[in-house]
């Protein structure tokens, strides 16, 4: 058990670490977090490893707590591994002795403490404000859901959006910028970089692919293999490697079972769900009004940041069409439930909100004589099926409108769509 002096040493060092962290590019999601400050609810910040959660904390601590009125605890610190929830009062006593009485806790990677929700609830009911940070959606929601149902709000911290990426590069976007030739040329150049590199903050700042490799390895080992006690990590990695290589392609659990060294479809489902819970990837279903048919349909797999494909997958065609599709999915996934459409033809995405189909979207790098009929026919079929008057076809650089049979298809560059 840690002594009082050891606890204080940890607390001082952790506070120094978060306060010495660079403020960085102010995140768009910070406004959403700030809007929850007056609520009594616990604010849960989750997201992919290294996607900027700690930097967001730094910004919040400076802007709203003047670098003073807070307590900070990081439970990924190896000195606090297996720290018992029953001993939390010792940490609290140490914090009071060092910094006086405060009413706000920032708890980083708290899911590493078994039964953490018990002391969170006790302090919450005494009027303390909590910000809980973690990289596993399920572990946090499972524990909080047990003891704190209805008392927490969840916010996902994602990698940089294209707008944030441009700000990192020193490009400020306003309404006029979209129509200035010089700025458009610059935006297009940076979009090609963003398409390949993605939005992971540390990778963009240091330009070292090892950063993304380490995020992936830590996700598999720390967030999945250790927590879920997966014995055969080699097979786990083989499955993930296959899915990443074949991102945006259809697959079925049975097809995976046939050539993976995994005998159970349920095991495959579990392994894929683990990766989704860490915010590394997402699978989508074919749309069907029958929930059972949705579940039984082939799936499509998307990685939640494009940068990982350049490092982990060799499936990048020279036209980067797959990357465009992956990027579009990640933008849609923030605000909608997303499906793909498959009938006589196929359409890449259907977006659904409040049980209503909002849009049919097709993605291709370049619309040309060879693919025009195929790309448009899938989109038109989906529009007709769901009585949509307007469809969207996203490309790398083309822009026009097509009108036929009382329907409109807008063809637009992805970079412009992202900024709108």
Q: DSSP secondary structure string, 167-231?
A: HHTTPPP-TTGGG-HHHHHHHHHHHHHHHHH-S-HHHHHH--HHHHHHHHHHIIIIIIIITTT-S
Among 141, 172, 207, which residue terminates a domain?
207
Q: Do the domain assignments include residue 306? A: no
Same domain, 58 and 14: yes
Same domain, 144 and 130: yes
Q: Do the domain assignments include residue 53? A: yes
Same domain, 102 and 201: no
Q: Do the domain assignments include residue 281? A: no
Q: What is the predicted pLDDT for the residue at 143? A: 65
Among 177, 207, 237, which residue terminates a domain?
207
Q: Do the domain assignments include residue 271? A: no
Tell me how far the alpha carbon of residue 190 is from its chain's centroid: 21
Same domain, 24 and 119: yes
Same domain, 9 and 152: yes
Q: Do the domain assignments include residue 263? A: no
Q: What is the predicted pLDDT for the residue at 315? A: 64
Q: Do the domain assignments include residue 340? A: yes
Same domain, 329 and 391: yes
Show the tokens assigned to 314. Answer: 């060799």
Nearest residue to 32 (alpha-carbon basis) of 158, 201, 165, 135: 158
Q: Do the domain assignments include residue 370? A: yes
Contacts of 208 (CB under 8 A, 6+ apart): none
Show the tokens assigned to 239. Answer: 């499955």
Q: What is the pLDDT of residues 287-337, one digit of tens each?
A: 999 999 999 999 999 999 999 998 998 665 556 889 999 999 999 999 999
Q: 79-88, long-range: CB within 8 Å, 24+ apart, which pairs? A: 79/2, 79/6, 79/10, 80/10, 80/112, 80/113, 81/112, 83/113, 84/113, 84/114, 85/113, 85/114, 85/115, 85/116, 85/118, 85/119, 87/1, 88/119
Determine the length of the chain. Answer: 420
Q: What is the predicted pLDDT for the residue at 316? A: 57
Same domain, 86 and 22: yes
Q: Do the domain assignments include residue 175? A: yes
Contacts of 349 (CB under 8 A, 6+ apart): 328, 329, 332, 338, 339, 340, 341, 359, 360, 361, 362, 363
Same domain, 58 and 73: yes
Same domain, 196 and 97: no
| Segments forming the whole domain that contains residue 201 | 162-207
DSSP-derived 3-state class of residue 57: helix
Show the tokens assigned to 215. Answer: 């995020």
Same domain, 14 and 121: yes
Tell me how many domains the chain contains.
3
Among 115, 138, 156, which residue terminates a domain?
156
Q: What is the pLDDT of residues 83-139, one digit of tens each?
A: 888 889 999 999 999 999 999 999 998 877 878 888 888 999 999 999 999 887 665
Same domain, 67 and 200: no
Contacts of 33 (CB under 8 A, 6+ apart): 43, 45, 56, 60, 131, 155
- Give the CATH number for residue 70: 3.40.50.300
Q: 248-253, long-range: CB within 8 Å, 24+ apart, which pairs? A: 248/300, 248/301, 248/302, 248/322, 248/325, 248/326, 248/329, 249/300, 249/301, 250/298, 250/299, 250/300, 251/298, 251/299, 251/300, 251/301, 252/298, 252/299, 253/299
Q: Which pLDDT tens digits describe the chain residue by residue (420 residues)?
A: 889 999 999 999 999 999 999 999 999 999 999 999 999 999 999 999 999 999 999 999 999 999 999 999 999 898 998 888 888 999 999 999 999 999 999 999 887 787 888 888 899 999 999 999 988 766 566 667 666 777 888 899 999 999 999 999 999 887 777 777 788 899 999 999 999 999 999 999 999 999 999 999 999 998 899 889 999 999 999 999 999 999 999 999 999 998 888 989 999 999 999 999 999 999 999 999 999 999 999 999 999 999 999 899 866 555 688 999 999 999 999 999 999 999 999 999 999 999 999 999 999 999 999 999 999 999 999 999 999 999 999 999 999 999 988 899 999 999 999 998
Same domain, 135 and 183: no
């Amino acid at each position: 058990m840690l002594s009082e002096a050891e606890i204080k040493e940890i607390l001082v060092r952790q506070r120094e670490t978060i306060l010495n962290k660079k403020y960085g590019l102010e995140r768009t999601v910070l406004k959403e977090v700030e809007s929850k400050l007056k609520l009594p609810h616990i604010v849960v910040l989750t997201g992919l490893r290294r996607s900027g959660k700690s930097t967001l904390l730094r910004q919040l601590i400076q802007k709203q707590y003047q670098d003073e009125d807070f307590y900070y605890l990081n439970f990924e610190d190896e000195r606090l591994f297996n720290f018992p929830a029953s001993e939390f009062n010792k940490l609290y006593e140490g914090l009071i002795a060092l910094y006086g009485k405060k009413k706000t806790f920032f708890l980083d990677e708290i899911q590493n403490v078994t039964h953490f929700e018990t002391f969170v609830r006790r302090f919450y009911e005494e009027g303390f404000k909590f910000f809980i940070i973690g990289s596993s959606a399920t572990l946090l929601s499972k524990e909080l859901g047990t003891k704190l149902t209805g008392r927490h709000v969840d916010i996902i911290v994602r990698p940089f959006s294209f707008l944030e990426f441009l700000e990192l590069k020193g490009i400020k976007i306003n309404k006029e910028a979209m129509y200035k030739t010089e700025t458009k040329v610059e935006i297009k150049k940076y979009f090609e970089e963003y398409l390949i590199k993605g939005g992971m903050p540390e990778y963009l700042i240091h330009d070292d692919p090892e950063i993304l490799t380490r995020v992936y390895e830590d996700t598999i080992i720390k967030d999945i293999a250790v927590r879920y006690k997966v014995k055969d990590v080699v097979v786990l990695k083989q499955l993930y490697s296959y899915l990443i290589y074949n991102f945006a392609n259809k697959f079925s659990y049975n097809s995976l079972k046939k050539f993976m060294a995994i005998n159970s479809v349920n095991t495959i489902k579990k392994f894929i769900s683990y990766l989704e819970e860490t915010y590394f990837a997402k699978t989508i279903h074919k749309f069907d009004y029958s929930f059972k048919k949705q579940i039984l349909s082939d799936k499509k797999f998307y990685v939640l940041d494009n940068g990982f494909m350049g490092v982990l997958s060799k499936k990048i065609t020279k036209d980067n069409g797959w990357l465009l599709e992956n990027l579009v999915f990640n933008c849609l996934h923030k605000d909608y439930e997303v499906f793909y459409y498959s009938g006589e033809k196929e359409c890449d995405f259907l977006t659904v909100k409040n049980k209503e189909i909002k849009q049919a979207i097709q993605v291709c790098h370049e619309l040309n004589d060879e693919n025009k009929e195929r790309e448009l026919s899938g989109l038109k079929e989906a529009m007709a099926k769901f009585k949509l008057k307007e469809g969207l076809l996203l490309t790398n650089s083309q822009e026009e409108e097509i009108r036929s049979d009382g329907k409109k298809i807008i063809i637009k560059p992805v970079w412009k769509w992202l900024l709108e």
